A and B are shown apart, each in its own frame.
Chain A
Amino acid sequence: EPEVTQTPSHQVTQMGQEVILRCVPISNHLYFYWYRQILGQKVEFLVSFYNNEISEKSEIFDDQFSVERPDGSNFTLKIRSTKLEDSAMYFCASRQGDGTNEKLFFGSGTQLSVL
């Protein structure tokens, strides 16, 4: 089965530093997502991306966050100035978006630790 891949698997950073989390969605997928899961809490939607622009974003996705699809394969999440409360597992996901298959494929996540 095709996979969404995320790198790195673990990222440790100092508070105030910028981090970039990387994702390679499945090649023929058109919709891309970032979710996060703070330890012990539920999976939270951050942002969805389609046709090279943000289609939806949550309240969590403030000015500190940005997403980009710099080439035909990567989909990145940037946090400009990390805060302690940004520590979480970040999941990338994608789906085909052809209307016949709504299965969302998730990556294995990047564990972000902000010290």
Chain B
Amino acid sequence: AQSVTQLGSHVSVSEGALVLLRCNYSSSVPPYLFWYVQYPNQGLQLLLKYTTGATLVKGINGFEAEFKKSETSFHLTKPSAHMSDAAEYFCAVVALGNQFYFGTGTSLTVIP
């Protein structure tokens, strides 16, 4: 079975500070991993994904994530937070079959 755990339902950072959103997964087979962002009153938008190859993946808006198999993690980072980064962030995994499993989400607040 596959599952995703996002530690911290709410994260607050100061503008310009490092953003770190945590995601751990469980999967019996090598997974594909995704981060999605949801701005208020909007749908989900893909930030980045890991399928195969390089374990450090870069996404839109300066975000990146590193797949660490030994830690079963796929944490999302951004070196310097911007006010426009305030949103809900979802980690997702897909392994067997077509079903995407989403985490419970992390709400990011950026303090000016």
Interface residues on B, range: 20 to 34
**A91 sits at the interface (CB 8 A):** yes
Question: Are B98 and A48 touching (Cβ within 8 A)?
Answer: yes
In the complex, chain A residues whose CB is within 8 Å of the CB of B45: 106
Question: Are B49 and A103 touching (Cβ within 8 A)?
Answer: yes
A residues contacting the other copy or chain, number (CB 8 A) = 23
In the complex, chain A residues whose CB is within 8 Å of the CB of B90: 42-43
In the complex, chain A residues whose CB is within 8 Å of the CB of B101: 45
**B104 sits at the interface (CB 8 A):** yes
Question: Are B32 and A106 touching (Cβ within 8 A)?
Answer: no
In the complex, chain A residues whose CB is within 8 Å of the CB of B97: 55-56
- Report Cα–Cα, A55/B97, bound state, in Å: 9
Chain A min CB distance to B96 (Å): 10
30 residue pairs of the A-B complex, CB under 8 angstroms, read A31-B98, A33-B100, A35-B100, A35-B102, A42-B102, A42-B104, A43-B44, A43-B105, A44-B102, A45-B99, A45-B101, A48-B98, A48-B99, A50-B98, A55-B97, A56-B97, A91-B44, A93-B100, A102-B32, A102-B49, A102-B51, A102-B94, A103-B46, A105-B46, A106-B44, A106-B45, A106-B46, A107-B43, A109-B42, A109-B43
